[in-house]
């Protein structure tokens, strides 16, 4: 398997979650409500899986290795665009969290913001994923030897093994802060 393989497999799961969000948005048009706990689940998925796990591998490993290469101007711009996309995704998720907090505490006007941010996520991810799968990953692969590609793949697997521990260490730290332990 090439290093881009796990990234593309992760894209398929992200697409499935985007479909769930899209369906939830469609249902919310009839009910004029949205389950804030579903939004929490979607946020957790976007933060931990799409951003920290998936984008983490891209930014912390793939882009780091690409920085060491003599990239064409076009490929440098592609990488910079992906980084900007990731930042946009984080900002949208943060705004979603804030709107969902207000909605959860009874601010009915925040419902349109929650739905708007969810729609932004639904609109954002499919073209972002296609850009990576179809344009960027094949172009970036050309910069690496087979040995370099396999070393990145091994680093991706190692990165994934740490994720569950990172998540729950953060959960405990946040809980301790709330309890002031």
Q: What is the DSSP code (8-state) at residue 72? A: -
Task: Encode pLDDT of 115-174 as tens digits.
Answer: 999 999 999 999 999 999 999 999 999 999 999 999 999 999 999 988 888 878 887 888
Task: Kindly report the pTM of this predicted structure.
Answer: 0.90
Task: Encode pLDDT of 60-95 as tens digits.
Answer: 999 999 999 999 999 999 999 999 999 999 999 999
Task: Encode pLDDT of 21-65 as tens digits.
Answer: 999 999 998 999 999 999 999 999 999 999 999 999 999 999 999
Domains of the chain in sequence order: 4-179 (1.20.120.520)
Cα 129 from Cα 11, distance rounded (Å): 7
CB atoms under 10 Å from CB of 114, counted, come to 25
pLDDT score at 163: 82
């Amino acid at each position: 398997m090439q290093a881009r393989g796990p990234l593309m497999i992760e894209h398929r799961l992200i697409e499935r979650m985007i479909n769930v969000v899209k369906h939830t948005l469609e249902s919310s048009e009839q009910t004029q409500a949205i389950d804030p706990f579903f939004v929490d689940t979607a946020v957790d998925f976007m933060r931990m899986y799409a951003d920290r796990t998936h984008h983490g591998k891209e930014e912390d490993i793939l882009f780091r290795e690409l920085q060491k290469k003599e990239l064409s101007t076009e490929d440098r711009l592609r990488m910079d665009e992906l980084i900007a996309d990731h930042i946009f995704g984080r900002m949208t998720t943060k705004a979603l969290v804030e709107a969902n907090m207000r909605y959860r505490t009874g601010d009915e006007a925040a419902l349109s913001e929650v739905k708007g941010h969810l729609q932004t996520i639904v609109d954002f991810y499919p073209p972002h994923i296609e850009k990576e799968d179809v344009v960027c990953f094949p172009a970036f692969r050309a910069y690496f030897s087979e040995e370099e590609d396999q070393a990145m793949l091994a680093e991706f697997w190692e990165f994934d093994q740490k994720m569950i521990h990172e998540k729950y260490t953060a959960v405990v730290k946040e809980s301790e802060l709330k309890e002031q332990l």
